[in-house]
């Protein structure tokens, strides 16, 4: 498993509250107050290198939108959380007689069918389920 950028559960960063309020009052983005290693674009660059390490042969990946570079989804329906350095377990569900695979990321339920469609990846629940089970067994 690759090492996550920030692996400690107790890692915290403190911003100057006065500076934060000044930025808010002036309509500035407070993201500018964070150190560079916390900026989404830098997290994505670092996690891209780690993502390459966990891919299986023929597998592609993309970062999950609005996850600040902490999550990727792969074309084999594997979802990886870099912040906690582990795979997230998806689940299947039938809605109106249509099977789908879902994952919950940051309290948001995401449809893999939709994510796959956005990436132009083939979506077949049965095939993805078999591939996912095979990848978790290490075969």
Taking alpha carbons only, the member of 50, 110, 101 closest to residue 80 is 50
Asked if residues 105 and 79 have their Cβ atoms less than 8 Å apart, the reply is yes
Mean pLDDT for 124-131 is: 89
3-state helix, strand, coil in the chain (%, to 5): 35, 20, 40
Strands 71-74 vs 79-81: parallel, antiparallel or unpaired: antiparallel
Question: Could you tell me what percent of the chain has a pLDDT over 70?
Answer: 83
81-95: average pLDDT: 86
State the Cα–Cα distance between residues 89 and 116, nearest whole angstrom.
17
Q: Identify the residue with better confidence: 15 or 77.
A: 77
Q: Is the pTM of this model over 0.75?
A: no
Tell me what the mean pLDDT of segment 19-45 comes to. 79
Predicted pLDDT of residue 10: 45
Tokens of 117: 């469609």
> pLDDT tens, 33-59?
876 666 667 777 778 888 888 898 999
| Per-residue confidence (pLDDT) for residue 138, from 0 to 100 | 59
Domain residue spans of the chain? 17-137
């Amino acid at each position: 498993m690759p090492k996550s950028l920030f692996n400690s559960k107790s890692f915290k960063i403190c911003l100057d509250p006065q500076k934060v309020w000044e930025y808010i009052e002036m309509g500035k983005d407070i993201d500018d107050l964070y150190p560079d290693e916390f900026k989404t674009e830098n997290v994505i660059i670092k996690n891209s290198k780690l993502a390459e390490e966990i891919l299986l042969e023929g597998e592609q990946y993309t970062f999950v939108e609005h996850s600040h570079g902490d999550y990727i989804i792969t074309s084999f329906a594997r979802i990886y959380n870099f912040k906690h350095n582990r795979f997230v377990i998806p689940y299947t569900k039938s809605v109106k007689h249509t099977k789908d695979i879902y994952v919950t990321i940051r309290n948001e339920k995401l449809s893999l069918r939709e994510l796959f469609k956005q990436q132009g990846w083939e979506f077949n629940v049965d095939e993805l389920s078999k591939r996912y089970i095979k990848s978790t067994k290490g075969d």
